[in-house]
């Protein structure tokens, strides 16, 4: 288990995530929502227990944006209200104790983590090369 620090673009929000060895990697998500929220082709994520993430600065000022996924359940996105960077997402379908962390926002994570899976491959753009095992939607649980 190691600790990884992250911060938003403006610096008003900072956080620290404790990640097990097998969580020190990126899951690429190609879904259409990630494309829109990031303005890019995929996002870098890891699924972790909520208790593993500590917002060390700016927690009371986080904004919350909720949308409804294919399941009809809410997905809550927590972001810096000043610069709009999304720190983490909570999918109701995953239960109250599990969150999706943006691994691309961890200082050491973006430099050192490797991709281990690609999800929502069905929405991947045709010119993107495969860099890890790709699933049509989610891996079978
Ligand atoms: Zn910010
Ligand atoms: Zn996505």
Q: 49-97: per-residue pLDDT in tens?
A: 999 999 999 999 999 999 998 889 999 999 999 999 999 999 999 999 9
Across the chain, what does the average pLDDT equal? 97
For the stretch 117-137, pLDDT in tens is: 999 999 999 999 999 999 999
Angle at 135 between CA 46 and CA 112, to 5 degrees: 35
Ligand nearest to the CA of 86: 1
Ligand nearest to the CA of 6: 1
For the stretch 25-49, pLDDT in tens is: 999 999 999 999 999 999 999 999 9
Would you say the C-alpha torsion 118, 13, 111, 96 has a positive or negative sign?
Answer: negative
Those residues whose C-beta lies under 8 Å from the C-beta of residue 40, and which sit 6 or more positions away, are none
* Cα 30 to ligand 2 centre (Å): 5
3-state secondary structure of 73: coil
* Cα 33 to ligand 2 centre (Å): 6
State what percent of residues in the chain have pLDDT above 90: 95
> Where in 50-122 does DSSP place strands (E)?
53-57, 62-68, 74-80, 86-91, 98-102, 114-119
Which pLDDT does position 140 carry in this prediction? 86
Radius of gyration of the chain (CA): 14
* Cα 39 to ligand 1 centre (Å): 17
Domains of the chain: 2-125 (2.170.150.70)
Q: How far is CA 97 from CA 18, 50, 115, 116, 137, in A?
A: 15, 5, 24, 23, 22
Ligand nearest to the CA of 100: 2
């Amino acid at each position: 288990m190691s600790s990884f620090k992250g911060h938003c673009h403006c610096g008003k929000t900072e956080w620290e995530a404790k990640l097990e060895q097998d969580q020190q990697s990126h899951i690429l998500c190609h879904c259409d929502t990630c494309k829109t929220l990031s303005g890019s082709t995929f996002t870098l994520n890891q699924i972790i227990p909520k208790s593993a993430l500590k917002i060390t600065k700016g927690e009371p000022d986080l904004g919350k944006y909720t949308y409804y996924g294919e399941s009809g359940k809410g997905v809550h996105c927590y972001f810096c209200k000043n610069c709009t960077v999304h720190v983490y997402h909570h999918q109701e379908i995953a239960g109250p104790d599990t969150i999706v962390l943006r691994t691309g926002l961890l200082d050491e994570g973006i430099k050192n983590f490797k991709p281990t899976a690609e999800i929502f491959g069905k929405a991947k753009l045709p010119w993107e090369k495969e860099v890890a095992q790709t699933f049509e939607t989610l891996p079978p649980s």
